[in-house]
Structure 1
Amino acid sequence: MNAGTKVALAVAVAALCVAGAIGVLVHRTTAANQLATARSDLDRQLLSAAYDYAAARKSPARIDPPDLPAAVARAVRGNVRATYLAGGAHPVLWAATRVSDHNVLALSRSYAPEARTLGTLDRTLVTTGAAASVVVSLAGLVLGVRMGRRATAAALAAERIADGDLDARVHPDGRDEIARLAASVNTMADALGARLEAERRVTADIAHELRTPVAGLATAVGLLPPGRATDLVTGAVGNMRRLVEDVLEVARLDAHSASVETESRQVSAMARRAVAGLDGVQVRITEDAMVETDPRRVERVLTNLAANALRHGAVPVVVEVEGPVVRVRDHGPGFPPDLFAVLRTSGPQRFRTSAPSTGTGLGLTIAVGQSRLLGARLTFRNHPEGGAEAVLRLATD
């Protein structure tokens, strides 16, 4: 239930409660005043009838009526006058007093007119209260829907910002708390965009500055005499070069400066080329397909996924082509729970891996960035039969 619905329901409940409370108060006050007036009038008539009885004049009062309520008879034993309302389908109002040691003078009349008047009042109160509640509820619904839409717009903008759309903004409307929230979301987006841009520039600048010395190291390594030490240095320099290239690729993806050059290619051909230099990777073709895409970027995605599976999983690593869908699965323990939770919610995070000593965590980040650039969808899961699995769904016409 969203906030707008809650506000509308709260206003409707409040309106019903207020209408009900006012109705009950008016009913009870009117009934009490009505009964008090009727009792007073009948008591005055009883006094007049008592004078007439004492003067032996005819009056509407009766002596010891057989239908006199027992409550009235008990009340007048102490030489007091009493009035009593006998309820039921046909209410009757009584007034009685003692005129001798053994006789009671009583006067009665129907209370039905007052009961009908009170019933008419109740129906009027119910109708008026219901109409007022409907009007107030509709006003509350309009207010709640408006508030809900504004809050939803702010939430959607925050979600878009969290997904990487730093241009998403909310248009504040009014000066209430929701408008303040919208302005805060915009301020957050501006600050986040500035911080990410500064981070991207620093990363790109560092990577660019490292390219020249790394290239020089690679050239110098080629001049070393063959041997175990040379092989170790060559491997380290190669890893450093790949890391620098990965950092530059991430910077280009963050800056949205990468371009896509599409052409029609077979998915199976791209998969085979992507893993051609990786030992322990098998390619299975269940169903082939032609897709219009950037083959270089698709191959980069598949290479990163397969290399990540080899590094963190266990052989065999299987790349299965099923039409425009490519699955890369290893037979290791699968994604750890903490990493899998991050992959499902916010996607891979750079420099975060399941084993910090075995990689930089840029491979999956680049794969996801390239997939978005291609308009493809990349998801991750732990396979029911064991191992981690990445599923790449290429866009088709």
Structure 2
Amino acid sequence: MAVAAAAVCVAGAIGVLVHRITAADQLTTARSDLDQQLVSAAHDLAAGRRSPARTDPPDLPPPVARAVRGAVRVTCLQRGDEHAVLWAATRISDRKVLALSRSYAPEERSLAALDRTLLATGAAAGVVVSLAGLLLGVRMGRRATAAAQTAERIAEGDLDARVRPDGHDEIARLASSVNTMADALGARLEAERRVTADIAHELRTPVAGMVTAVGLLPPGRATDLVAGSVHKLRGLVEDVLEVARMDAQVAAVDTEPREMSAMARRAVAGLDDVRVHITADAVLTTDPRRVERILANLAANALRHGAPPVEVEVDGPCVRVRDHGPGFPSDLLAVLHASGPQRFRTGSRTGGTGLGLTIATGQARLLGARLTFRNRPDGGAETELHLADIQRTGPDDGAPPGP
């Protein structure tokens, strides 16, 4: 649109300029010719020959009559309602005026034809320039869109995505900058993953020694406190190792048919205040260990940051984990919807390592599943895990809900 507007403005300006110059040239030429004819008519009248000029014509325009009093010869264009008339007049005595006139219609028709030609040429040029600008804009827009889409893929975690630079303009420079950013980001993340994995591996040996040493301590409250802390530390190290394996994309998925209800019950078997409800069961071909890890993390996260009781509802390939606490904080829920869980960030102000949702999301991504986070209208946070439904088996045959 900008190119089209510029083309129209340029064509209009050129058209107006050509129109004015041509009109001025036509009027100057017509006046000069009629003035020469008036001079010839005056000579013919003095020699007694017939002349097209008239003496004191009654239709002589008043402006011409007034102007000829103080000038030798006068030319004037009189525009009427129907057509214009060009006059030339001169005094041949103190009381007599010799005048010559002709229609100015040929010049007006010629100028109108020129205006039509300029309008058609300007319109054609505007269309051609607009099409050229449109093609150029579409091409640049596609390149910019491709760079933007690649940047979005990189932001979503596809660090192998790259833009193919084409040309040497600003968009090509933008594409090169996006590729450079992706390379630097990938190198930094790889370094962080390597450090995290190395630290976790180095911690496994002393943590294992601490677990063994705690088992040798005499029973007592101090021993219980140390054992609880060592147990939490061991769980944190295992969580960090799990995240490092998922980041390195070396985790393997071992699938087998398994009932969704059995996986849900096994996942929460060691957790108090967790109830399992079976609305409809399903047999899924998936990795049961990873599904149980996801459900266990979701239930533990609900107990830690929400409020009991925690309800696990199995509805075929869909499992919902709900607590009765205040729900997800609004800022955390916005982050979960935008980019997923962030490591070491929780919705609670008191404690928590913040790896539970991160591990659950990573495991779900490996399984091709989908996790959805929301707050229920009647209170409490709810997380929904949706797996691929391979074989539907219907209701739970009247079996009572298991704890």
**TM-score normalised by structure 1 residue count:** 0.89
Change (3 A) 1:381 1:100: farther
Instruction: Name the counterpart of 2:241.
Output: 248
Mapping of residues 1-397 of structure 1, within 5 Å: 9-53=1-45, 57-76=49-68, 78-79=70-71, 81-86=74-79, 88-99=81-92, 104-396=97-389
Change (3 A) 1:361 1:48: same
> Counterparts of 2:380 and 2:217 in 1: how far apart (Å)?
41
> Counterparts of 1:45 and 1:99 in 2: how far apart (Å)?
15
CA deviation after TM superposition for structure 1 residue 263, in Å: 2.0
> Which letter maps to 1:261?
D
> Which letter maps to 2:171?
I
> Counterparts of 2:118 and 2:181 in 1: how far apart (Å)?
52
> Counterparts of 1:88 and 1:395 in 2: how far apart (Å)?
85
Change (3 A) 1:78 1:391: farther
> Counterparts of 1:103 and 1:283 in 2: how far apart (Å)?
123
* Equivalent pair of 1:170/1:186 in contact (CA under 8 Å): yes
Moved more, 203-212 or 26-35: 26-35
CA deviation after TM superposition for structure 1 residue 66, in Å: 4.7
Superposed CA offset, 1:182-220 (max 9, x none): 111111111111111111111011111111111111122
> Counterparts of 1:314 and 1:105 in 2: how far apart (Å)?
114
CA deviation after TM superposition for structure 1 residue 266, in Å: 2.7
Unaligned runs of 5+ in 1: 1-8
Change (3 A) 1:98 1:270: farther
> Counterparts of 1:305 and 1:54 in 2: how far apart (Å)?
120
> Counterparts of 2:139 and 2:342 in 1: how far apart (Å)?
37
> Which letter maps to 1:127?
A
> Counterparts of 2:223 and 2:359 in 1: how far apart (Å)?
30
> Counterparts of 1:56 and 1:272 in 2: how far apart (Å)?
132
> Which letter maps to 1:358?
G
CA RMSD of aligned residues (A): 2.4
* Equivalent pair of 1:75/1:82 in contact (CA under 8 Å): no
> Which letter maps to 2:30?
A
> Counterparts of 1:107 and 1:177 in 2: how far apart (Å)?
68
Change (3 A) 1:294 1:66: farther
> Counterparts of 1:34 and 1:52 in 2: how far apart (Å)?
27
CA deviation after TM superposition for structure 1 residue 244, in Å: 0.4
Moved more, 347-356 or 318-327: 318-327
Identity of aligned residues (%): 77
Change (3 A) 1:342 1:59: same
> Counterparts of 1:268 and 1:66 in 2: how far apart (Å)?
115
3-state secondary structure, aligned to 2:86: strand
> Counterparts of 2:63 and 2:247 in 1: how far apart (Å)?
92
Change (3 A) 1:272 1:141: same
* Equivalent pair of 2:373/2:383 in contact (CA under 8 Å): yes
3-state secondary structure, aligned to 2:216: coil
Change (3 A) 1:285 1:120: farther
Unaligned runs of 5+ in 2: 391-403
> Which letter maps to 2:355?
L
CA deviation after TM superposition for structure 1 residue 103, in Å: 5.3
